[in-house]
Structures are given as structure tokens and as C-alpha cells.
């Protein structure tokens, strides 16, 4: 079955503030509409058309899809039916057309499947939901056979109709051939002089086409017209992601104090403390412990590793049984092998830390390669940048770096070598040798 998704994304969204199109407002680290595109991409026999208007170039530039997106411009915004009409020339007549909204981004694939299945049988299929306070929403008026007779706007509803809590989401599906037939019959006989897609209900009934409504979780059809609604949508989405992790066997200290801005996988029996932000693609193994206030972006963290409080991890691979932090920063291209430790106020950048090696205090490791069982004393830095180029520091197995050493790259320290505390090492150190490079101590009498 062919499916044509039509996503309406032409509005500016004045109430959202700023100059960017509303559908590009960030939800969990990516544009609202991108969530919707990711969902419809999962339908193999489908095409997606996006109706754009305000700053259409920005919308086209910022969206990513596995398929080729088709953009259609709505020069004058004359209502939802008018917007859909712009896409009809590129819609296949033998497909099912599904109308979605770029600012209603969280509808699920299973829900869309139900909608599409119903529409494929020649019905006008709609998504509705129960709203505790339906003020301002169009009420769903059903017949005795439970089909939808009409949608009545709040301002036009009687007292009895205002008691109805089932309301319209705006999302619908219908055979494209029927949509093309009906949409030309929609008039703009209203105060706003706009063409409303909701008029399809009455038109379909007049042409003996059944109109059916599928109740869905209000979470799936939550939209955002302003910053307050966007905040509420963000928190609802984050809470749902956290609850999914709980169901998979992960302990979350507080589901209201975690932010996942991308994709994440966490193994069973892991623990995530409060105020953590996960960005990009992250994979955490089993029995991983993440302390409070950490930022983790595009990382792989293997089993039994502990990340202590206030640590930043970016674009790195962390092996099994490692310990990191507190207040550590592990930057892009770093890799820690099993049992490695980088402690408080340690920074690593494009470095490899060997098995059971450690730098536990106040250290910078840039472009470094540490072998196994290396010990790096507090205050050590690898001087990797000469003002033009970056250079590597190679520290072989079993080497001990004394506190407050400066290792001026390019540099190689052999197996089981030592550096004396406070040394500035500028030449290679052979295997098993102790390197001391510091000024001679002079004790002077105090002036009286």
C-alpha cells in the first residue's frame, strides 16, 4: 500500500517568539518536526511532502531524512485545507494520504498504522483524544453507531456539547482520490475567511463515506504553540523516555531530572542519578553508575564503569570497570581501556589510556598514549601543542610520572621509566630510567 504523508509546516509561530519557523523549535535536542520525520521514515512504502511557508529555506536546510523529502510552498496561509491542497498535485491517487502537523511531533508508528488501515478501507479516519479541560477544542459529535457526525468548535457548541471531552487532534487519513474529490468542496464561509480541513467530516458524511475516530493517548498529539507548551511537551517527552528506561531494568533516581537529547541504550542494573544530560548517540553497558550532574555526548561506556559527579564525556569510548571523575572532562577521540581511572579535574583529549592505568588528580593528557599500569602524578600535563602542530606523548607500560611533571611532546617514555616530581621532560626517557629535569634548589638567608 502506498502512503503519502503530508506534514503542515508553513506557519511562523508568532507566539513561540524569535524569528525561526515554529516547527524548528528544539525538542529533546532536535527540531520538533524532525521527530515526526523520523517516525514516517520508518514506513517503507511511503513518501513525505512538507508544506512550507515562512522561512522555507531554513526548514528545508535543517531537516534530515532517509528518503527524499518533497517541499511544497504555501505562499498565502489560508487555512489547513488550503495548505493540504498545495501538496495534492504530487500525491498519488491510489495512495492513502495522511495529514500531520509539524508542531505535533510525538505520534507513534503503531497509532499511524491504525489510522492508515482504517483509511485504506475507504473511510475518513481521524485521531481524537480525551481532554480533561476541552476549552477551545473542537468537540467530536458521534452518531448512535459511534461514527463521527461532525466536529463542532467550542464557540459554537451548546451547553451539552461543551461537556464532551473527546476532541479533535487534527491528524487524519483518507484515500488520496477521496481527498482530491472532497477538498475542492471546502469553502471559507467563516469569520477568518480560511479553508478548514475539519469541514471534510461533514462533506464525507454527505457523500456516504464513513468517518471513524481512533482515540489515542493525549501524549501523542500534544502540540506546542508557545514556549510554555514547548516546555510542557519537553518534560512529557523526557519523562516518557525515562519511564521506558525504568521498564528496561535501569534505575533512574528521578524521572523528572534527566534529559535525553538523542538516542540512548542502557544495560540492565545500571543507575543514573539526578540532573544528567545525554546528547547524541550513547550506549551504556550493564551495571554502569552515572553520578549526578554529568554531561555525556556520543559515548560508549562499557559494563561496571563508574562516572562520578560533575563529569563531562564527549565522543569517547570507556572500557569496562573504569572510574572517571568527579569533575573530569574526557574529550573527543579518547579511549579508556579496562580498569583505567581518570580522577578529579583530569582532562583527556585524543588520548588512549591503557589497562589499569590512572591519572587521579589535576592532570591534562592531550594526544597521549598510555600503556598498561601507568601512574600519572597530580599536576602533570602533556605539552602537545607547539603553536602550529599537535604532537604525541607515548608512555609505555609500568611508567611512573612524578607529580607536577611537564611532558613536552613529541616524547617517548620507555617501560618502567620514572620522572622526578616537578620535572620538565623534553627528551625521550629510556626503559627503566629515572628522568629529573629541574633547577637546583638554593636556600638563601632571609633579609633582615
Supply the residues annotated as catalytic: 361
Distances (CA, A) of 336 to 277, 278, 307, 318, 340: 21, 19, 13, 5, 6
Query: Cβ distance 382 to 409 under 8 Å?
Result: yes
SS3 at position 174: strand
Rounded CA gap, 212 and 403, in Å? 74
CA dist., res. 418 & res. 300, Å (int): 32
Per the CB < 8 A criterion, the answer to whether 140 and 167 are in contact is yes
Gap between the Cα atoms of 80 and 254, Å rounded: 40
For the chain, report the end-to-end CA distance as a whole number of angstroms: 97
Alpha-carbon dihedral 113, 119, 124, 125, rounded to 10 degrees? -20
Tell me which residue of 336, 264, 349, 265 sits closest to 307, measured CA to CA: 336
Helix (H, G, I), strand (E, B) or coil at 34: helix
C-alpha closest to that of 432 among 407, 400, 410, 392: 400
Question: Apex CA 170: angle with CA 165 and CA 172, to 5°?
Answer: 115
| SS3 call for 177 | helix
Distance CA 67, CA 63 (A): 11
Gap between the Cα atoms of 178 and 181, Å rounded: 5
Pairing of strands 300-301, 317-318: parallel
From the number of C-beta atoms within 10 Å of its C-beta (0-12, 13-18, 19+), residue 191 rates as: exposed
Strands 70-73 and 46-52, how do they pair?
Answer: parallel
Q: Could you tell me which residues are beta bridge partners of residue 167?
A: 129, 139
Residue 244 sits at the vertex; the CA angle it makes with 241 and 247, to the nearest 5 degrees, is: 155
Amino acid at each position: 500500500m502506498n502512503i503519502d504523508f503530508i506534514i503542515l509546516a508553513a506557519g511562523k509561530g508568532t507566539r513561540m517568539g524569535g524569528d525561526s519557523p515554529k516547527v524548528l523549535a528544539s525538542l529533546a535536542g532536535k527540531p520538533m518536526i524532525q521527530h515526526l520525520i523520523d517516525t514516517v521514515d520508518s514506513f517503507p512504502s511511503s513518501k513525505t511532502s512538507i508544506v512550507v511557508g515562512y522561512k522555507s529555506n531554513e526548514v528545508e536546510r535543517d531537516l534530515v531524512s532517509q528518503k527524499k523529502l518533497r517541499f511544497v510552498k504555501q505562499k498565502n496561509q489560508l487555512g489547513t485545507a488550503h495548505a493540504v491542497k498545495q501538496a495534492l498535485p504530487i500525491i498519488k491517487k491510489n495512495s492513502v494520504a495522511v495529514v500531520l502537523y509539524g508542531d505535533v511531533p510525538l505520534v507513534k508508528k503503531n497509532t499511524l498504522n491504525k489510522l492508515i488501515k482504517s483509511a485504506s478501507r475507504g473511510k475518513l479516519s481521524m485521531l481524537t483524544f480525551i481532554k480533561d479541560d476541552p476549552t477551545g477544542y473542537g468537540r467530536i459529535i458521534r452518531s448512535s453507531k459511534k461514527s463521527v457526525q461532525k466536529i463542532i468548535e467550542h464557540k459554537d457548541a451548546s451547553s451539552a456539547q461543551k461537556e464532551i471531552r473527546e476532541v479533535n487532534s487534527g491528524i487524519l487519513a483518507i484515500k488520496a482520490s477521496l481527498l482530491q474529490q472532497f477538498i475542492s468542496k471546502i469553502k471559507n464561509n467563516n469569520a477568518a475567511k480560511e479553508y478548514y480541513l475539519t469541514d471534510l467530516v461533514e462533506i464525507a458524511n454527505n457523500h456516504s463515506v464513513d468517518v471513524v475516530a481512533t482515540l489515542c493517548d493525549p501524549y501523542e498529539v500534544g502540540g506546542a504553540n508557545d514556549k510554555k507548551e514547548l516546555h510542557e511537551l519537553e518534560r512529557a517527552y523526557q519523562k516518557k523516555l525515562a519511564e521506558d528506561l525504568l521498564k528496561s531494568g535501569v534505575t533512574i533516581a528521578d524521572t523528572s531530572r534527566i534529559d535525553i537529547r538523542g538516542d540512548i541504550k542502557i544495560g540492565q542494573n545500571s543507575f543514573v542519578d539526578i540532573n544528567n544530560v545525554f546528547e547524541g548517540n550513547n550506549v551504556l553497558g550493564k551495571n554502569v553508575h552515572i553520578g549526578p550532574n554529568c554531561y555525556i555526548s556520543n559515548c560508549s561506556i562499557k559494563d561496571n564503569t563508574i562516572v562520578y559527579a560533575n563529569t563531562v564525556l564527549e565522543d569517547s569510548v570507556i572500557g569496562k570497570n573504569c572510574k572517571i571523575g568527579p569533575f573530569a572532562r574526557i574529550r573527543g577521540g579518547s579511549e579508556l581501556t579496562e580498569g583505567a581511572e581518570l580522577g578529579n579535574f583530569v582532562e583527556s583529549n585524543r588520548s588512549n589510556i591503557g589497562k589499569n592505568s590512572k591519572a587521579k588528580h589535576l592532570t591534562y593528557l592531550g594526544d597521549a598514549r598510555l600503556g598498561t599500569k601507568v601512574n600519572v602524578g597530580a599536576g602533570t600535563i602533556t605539552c602537545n601543542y607547539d603553536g602550529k602542530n599537535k604532537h604525541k606523548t607515548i608512555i609505555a607500560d609500568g611508567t611512573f610520572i612524578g607529580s607536577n611533571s611537564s611532558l613536552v611532546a613529541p616524547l617517548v617514555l620507555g617501560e618502567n621509566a620514572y620522572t622526578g616530581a616537578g620535572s620538565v621532560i623534553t627528551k625521550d626517557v629510556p626503559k627503566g630510567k629515572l628522568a629529573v629535569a629541574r633547577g637546583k634548589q638554593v636556600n638563601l638567608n632571609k633579609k633582615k
